[in-house]
Structure 1
Amino acid sequence: MTDTSQTRVRDPERISSRAADWLACGGCRALLYRKRFERVAKVCPYCGWHDRLTADERVDLLLDDGSAEPVTPAPTVHDPLRFSDLAPYPARLAAARAKTGLPDAVRVVRGTVYGHRVVVAAMDFRFLGGSLGVAAGEAITAAAEEALAGRLPLLLVTASGGARMQEGVLSLMQMAKTSNAMARLDEAGLLTITLVTDPTYGGVAASFASLSDVVLAEPGARMGFAGPRVIEQTLGQTLPKGFQTAEFLVEHGLADAVPPREELRPVVAHLLAAASRPAAKPAECTADAVVRDTVRVRRAPAAQTISLARHRDRPTTLDHIGRWVDDFVELHGDRVGGDCAATVCGVGVLDGQPVVVIGHQKGHSTNDLVQRNFGMPSPAGYRKAARTMRLAAKLGIPVVTLVDTPGAHPGMDAEENGQALAIAECLRTMGSLPVPIVCVITGEGGSGGALAFAVADRVLSSANAVYSVISPEGCAAILWNDPGATGTAADALRLDAGSLLELGVVDGVVAEPPGGAHTAPDAASDLVRDAVVGALRELRGQTGEQLLRDRRARFRRYGVLGGVEEKGVPA
């Protein structure tokens, strides 16, 4: 008989070492090989669960190799309350510093992302749960001041359980301190980005984390003021699945996007490029596609033009963006409580220059049309657009709007959520932007829902687009009391491109392929692109004061016989 006693004896250290090589996924509980897991930035290959990263790992993941340079915050008070619970506060701090190798919960560096300079403040949840104390607040403020001094964008990576209770009211004061620092960056026109990681709660969520121009969130990351346990204990009810997660935040208009970890660097780089791209040599542009002489505009029966304007195969806003805007990053949410799929907003690069693009989005299929509410924005859509317009003004980049909507959404929910006010705010915001604005009516221009995106320096119309105070169907029903009078109403409204040019409502008409834009969508989109680029080049170099004066004078003149002089406005 063979002696097997030796085979039963196992080396405890070897067993421990092998066990340490593996871990269970926090999402699907699959067994993961640790080294491979770390090579893919701690993302489960099976379910996509994102494990927490340290501040050092964040910096390494986001910044170009070797570009990180430390920024040292000012020294702060130590144990201001002489606090002690189950352990003295100084002992807790010492343990956290030994565990993390960090002086506190935030690491601040300067660096580059694909060559674009940026200041990064990365929080580390291992340090007392990323709690916001005086040292962490000073680090965030120091990061903002470093960005201000170098006129650089600021990227905040958040991970926090809330305020640091051991520092009492001084911890609370950091919310105001950091919010003031963010306000200075707004005043200076510097881009701010937040990357929400899991978890981000309390004072961090209710201050600097929510104040950035763009809020990104990792998949599954949670953010809120009160944690779910506090809410459940207070209300005595069970919260729905996915409450406060990144996906929940986007759905409710509180975050812009949820890029997976491997896509973070490119997304951040695109945003930085939009904020800092130097003037580039203009791209080639074909012959002027805009007709400005009313005699040259081809006329067709109004009913035919309306049919072409509504054709579901006409290029949509997303079609145009995909065709001629580079490095586009779509922004979501009105920061109040909703997002609107009928409105598309974002930043990208056109003709070598950063631009903000805003447009109505219908879709081509029935499913798309339903999901996009047939291109009829809710109040959240107009608030999202206004938010994006303000970002353009802050960064000093032009705005391009593409109009194609039957009108604003007329539902009860829209009225309860302030549809009229949301449209009015858009009108006022566009009229006050100190940057060039170019608008193209690409399909339907329905009433105030269309005008909300059309208070521009240059307003153009596609050849088969329409623009009117009301739909012909609505006009026929109200004034003729006869739905069958739609054609008569359409003719009377003079809503075609030629009539709009004669009335001075548009500055030019963009040609379309024979038969309409739907017959050759790419060619039609290229014509719109050339018209937009040409208009932007005309406006390039004008001061904000000039743009505001001329834009307001433009709309001041409508309906007035002869000239008009605005009182209090220099000629």
Structure 2
Amino acid sequence: MTSTLPDRPIQAPVPAADWVVCPGCSGMIYAKRMDRAAGVCPECGHHTPRTAAQRIAHLIDDGSADMIDVAVPDRDPLGFVDSKAYPERLRDARRRTGLDEGVLVARGRIDSCPVVVAAMDFRFLGGSLGAAVGEAITRACEVALAERTPLLLVSASGGARMQEGVVALMQMAKTSQALRQLDEAGVLTISLVTDPTFGGVAASFATLCDVIVAEPGARLGFAGPRVIAQTIGETLPEGFQTAEYLLEHGIVDLICPRAELRAVLGRLLRVAGAPDASVTPIRPVLVRDHTALPVRHPWEVVRKARRFGRPTALDYAGLLLEEFTELHGDRMAADCAAMVCGLGVLDGAPVALIGTQKGRTPAEAAQRNFGMPTPAGYRKAARVMRLAGKLGIPLVTLIDTAGAFPGVAAEEQGQAVAIAENLRLLSGLPVPVVAVVTGEGGSGGALALAVADDVLMCADAVYSVITPEGCASILWKDAGSAPRAAEALRVDSRSLLELGVVDGVVPEAEHGDHLESARLLGDALRETLAPLAGMSTADRATRRHARFRAFGLAAAGSLSGPAVGTAGSLAGPAISAEACDETRESA
């Protein structure tokens, strides 16, 4: 098959008609005005379909597009004929679109960042996934792999090409295998979902990328709504399979209007392409000797840790990181608002950030589930942990939660399993990991983000196996004994530094001074990340293993401090067998 790829920079064609009708609002729009807005209705914001050539022209920096010839010989494996023979349908599609097949591939730059782009064109047989399209996507993956360049896949498809039968089905496996190779090589992959993306494309390369970006209103799904309704007779929810529905249900990372795509994609590409994964310490701020900290009643610290107005994870992300992009969803069922995750740059070095988010106001706190993550939150965090490991960038976790959400739905969705999986994942993550307890560090819900090379905490933060109120209710049968329980549990930073549970304490700024709080935390991260980045992966893994292996050993003065579970240890006073029986009965 002879290639008809353009021999000049791709130009987005201007519609021939002077006026067009917007499919979203049915308004008459001046065609040139619509084209200047890249096909977005200036009245209602509806995103109209774009051709593959228009996609590449819109996304790639002017003058940087270098088309990659991915043409393959025609195949008619089944000799398929419906109202027309398959070869005749191909000829008609080529005549109408000017394309050899339903995808264009190019090297280029987006916001000055190198990238390989494969863009599908729905006009060509409904953007169906046949052997030629599968080959084009696979070759794009192979070019990205050979050149260690991030890959952007722009999808628009009705599914697998029926005229090629099972050969088309095999393209799902072929393209998925190519993406797996990019995962193993640590090359960032981004999927841009446009309307529509269904069937075999949705169930393969469109949803296998590290980050899934969707245009507003774009539909994505395995089975189309008509098929679902006709097959099972079920009434579908409002907005079913749209980008907005999928964001709420944890499938896509973010929705991005077309006008902002280049900037958002550029931020993601810069994080993946940042040249140095280390940060430079500016000045030491961490307190590492517990005797340098004041002696305070732990209940006083608990109350300070819970005050509204402390900086949240998103506050720190905005104040500390450049190019921060928040990522959403567990790719299964939901997006937990109590867990925030994303990628950014600290002093020119890329980092992944995960944090619990309580909220800045009472209303936001309720919306954020008071910072108590659901299983979807921990699975979202696990996604970003794996992404940090793949890209080889440090991970920073910020912890401020009373604990994992204890509701019935959370138990049904595997809360314990989600936490356990994070503990295992963090224990072997091959990149530097620094955890900071910035407010409350509650039980396993906090520990699921705190299996780290270095664990820090803010001076007015607390970290405990249970809330003081919970401990008091169980052991003293009186929630009013919470101050007594806080003292027994030794939840304050001075006690935890003495015990070796934390490695350093970040001084506190005046309450409400977020800029100074961010400066202190930033200096603490630089102080901690710099030496970790200089260690080999094997040395870090050995050190992290030894750190947690030591807890519970009896040797005083070791990393673990006194044996956990004895008098004066993290667990507070020794608990009798009778008390354990009472605890089980209460549970």
- TM-score relative to the length of structure 1: 0.93
Q: Does 1:561 align with 2:557?
A: no
Q: Is residue 550 from structure 1 mapped to residue 547 from structure 2 by the alignment? A: no
Identify if the C-alpha distance between structure 1 residues 133 and 18 changes in structure 2 by more than 3 Å, giving closer, same or farther. Answer: closer
Distance 2:121 2:15 in 1: 28
Quote the residue 2:20 is aligned against.
23
Aligned position for 2:574: none
Question: Matches of 1:342 and 1:307 in 2, distance apart?
Answer: 21
- Give the structure 2 partner of residue 11 of structure 1: none
The letter for the 1-side match of 2:190 is I
Match 2:126 to one of 124, 129, 148: 129
> Deviation per CA, 1:236-258, whole angstroms, max 9, x where unpaired?
23312210000111111100000
Asked whether the 8 Å contact 1:440–1:459 carries over to 2, the reply is yes
- 1:406 matched residue in structure 2: 402
1:531 aligns with 2:524: yes
Match of 1:209 among 201, 206, 210: 206
**What does residue range 449-528 of structure 1 map to in structure 2 within 5 Å?**
449-514=445-510, 518-528=511-521
Match of 1:540, as an amino acid? A
Q: Displacement of 1:464 after TM fit?
A: 0.3
- What are the superposed Cα offsets for residues 274-299 of structure 1, whole Å, 9 maximum, x if unpaired? 1111128956x653221111111122
Query: Is the aligned partner of 1:36 residue 2:33?
Result: yes
Aligned equivalents of 1:519, 1:464: Cα separation in 2: 13
Given the alignment of the two structures, is residue 446 of structure 1 paired with residue 416 of structure 2, yes or no? no
* d(CA) in 2 for partners of 1:416, 1:239: 24
On the 8 A contact 1:77/1:134 being kept in 2, the answer is no
Query: Could you tell me which of 365, 381, 386 is aligned with 1:385?
Result: 381
Matched, 1:436 2:432: yes
Please say if residues 76 and 138 of structure 1, whose CA atoms lie closer than 8 Å, have aligned partners that are also in contact.
Answer: no
1:361 aligns with 2:357: yes
Aligned to 1:142: 139
**Any residues of structure 2 matched to 1:103-114 within 5 Å, and which?**
103-114=100-111
**1:373, CA displacement in angstroms?**
0.2
The answer to whether the Cα contact below 8 Å between 2:330 and 2:377 also exists between their aligned partners in 1 is: yes
Deviation at 1:73, TM superposition (A): 2.1
**Structure 1 residues 457-482: Cα deviation after superposition (integer angstroms, max 9, x where no partner):** 11111000000000000000000111
User: Once the two structures are superposed, what CA deviation does each residue of 1:399-443 show, in whole Å capped at 9, x if it has no partner?
Assistant: 000000000000000000000000001111111101000111000
Work out the CA distance in 1 between the residues paired with 2:453 and 2:277. 23
* Letter paired with 1:344: V
Q: 1:86 matched to which residue of 2?
A: 83
Structure 2 counterpart SS, 1:91: helix
Return closer, same or farther for 1:428/1:51 CA change in 2, 3 Å cut-off.
same
**What RMSD, in angstroms, separates the aligned Cα atoms of the two structures?**
1.7
CA distance in 2, matches of 1:18, 1:414: 52
8 Å contact 1:315–1:524 — kept in the other structure? Answer: yes
Which among 314, 317, 321 is matched to residue 310 of structure 2? Answer: 314
Residue deviations 1:47-95, cap 9 Å, x none? 1100011000100111111111111226244222121111111111111
Query: Residue type matched to 2:113 in 1?
Result: H
Alpha-carbon separation, structure 2, partners of 1:280 and 1:469: 34
Separation in 1, partners of 2:240, 2:186: 34
Counterparts of 2:541 and 2:223, CA distance in 1: 43
- Of residues 176, 181, 199, the one that matches 2:196 is 199
1:230 lines up with 2:224 in the alignment? no
For the residues of structure 2 that align with 1:229 and 1:408, how far apart are their CA atoms?
A: 39
- The letter of the residue matching 2:399 is V
* Structure 1 residue 101 corresponds to structure 2 residue 102: no
Aligned to 2:238: 241
- The amino acid that maps onto 1:32 is I
Q: Which amino acid aligns with 1:342?
A: A
Q: Does residue 292 of the first structure (1) align with residue 288 of the second (2)?
A: yes
1:540 is matched with which residue?
533
AA of the residue aligned to 2:242: T
For the residue of structure 1 that corresponds to 2:527, the secondary structure is: helix
Instruction: State the Cα deviation string for residues 450-502 of structure 1 (Å, max 9, x = none).
Output: 00000011111100000000000000000011112111001000000000000
Q: Which amino acid aligns with 1:498?
A: R
Q: Give the match for residue 154 of structure 1.
A: 151
Does 1:273 find its partner at 2:267? no
Deviation of 1:389 (Å): 0.2
CA distance in 1, matches of 2:361, 2:69: 55
Q: Which residue of 2 aligns with 1:251?
A: 248
Match of 1:568 in 2: none
Q: Which residue of 1 aligns with 2:578?
A: none
* 2:340 counterpart SS class: strand
Contact 2:441 2:464 in 1 (8 A): yes
Letter in 1 for 2:543: D
Q: Secondary structure at the match of 1:290?
A: coil
Q: CA deviation at 1:311?
A: 0.5
Tell me if structure 1 keeps the 8 A contact 2:278–2:529: no
> Which residue of structure 2 lines up, in the alignment, with residue 8 of structure 1?
none
Q: In structure 2, what is the equivalent of residue 14 of structure 1?
A: none
Match of 2:215 in 1: 218
Per the alignment, residue 370 of structure 1 pairs with 366
1:126-150 Cα offsets, whole Å, 9 max, x none, are 0000000000000000000011111
CA distance in 2, matches of 1:269, 1:158: 19
Letter in 2 for 1:192: T
CA distance in 1 between counterparts of 2:189 and 2:30 reads 37
User: Deviation at 1:327?
Assistant: 0.3
SS at match of 1:230: helix
CA contact (8 A) 1:76 1:134 kept: no
Aligned residues: 545
Q: Is the 8 A contact 2:71 2:100 kept in 1?
A: no
* SS of corresponding position for 1:65: coil
Does the 8 Å contact 2:277/2:533 carry over to 1?
A: no
Distance in 2 between residues matched to 1:297 and 1:412, nearest whole Å: 41
Percent of aligned pairs with the same amino acid: 59
Does the 8 Å CA contact 1:351/1:533 hold for their aligned counterparts?
A: no
Q: What secondary structure is seen at the aligned counterpart in 1 of 2:323?
A: strand
Q: Which amino acid in the other structure matches residue 500 of structure 2? A: G
**1:171, 1:222 → 2: CA distance?**
22
Question: Deviation at 1:366?
Answer: 1.1
Distance in structure 1 (CA, Å) of the matches to 2:508 and 2:282: 14
1:71 aligns with 2:68: yes
- The secondary structure found in structure 1 opposite 2:129 is coil
* Matching residue's letter, 1:477: S
Cα distance in 2, alignment partners of residues 432 and 469 from structure 1: 23
Alpha-carbon spacing, 1:499–1:76, altered in 2? closer, same or farther (3 Å): farther
Task: State which of 293, 296, 303 in structure 1 corresponds to 2:299.
Answer: 303
> Runs of 5+ in structure 2 lacking a partner?
1-13, 560-587
| Contact 2:267–2:324 (8 Å) recurs in 1 | yes
What TM-score results when the alignment is normalised by the length of structure 2?
0.91
SS in structure 2 of the partner of residue 327 of structure 1: strand
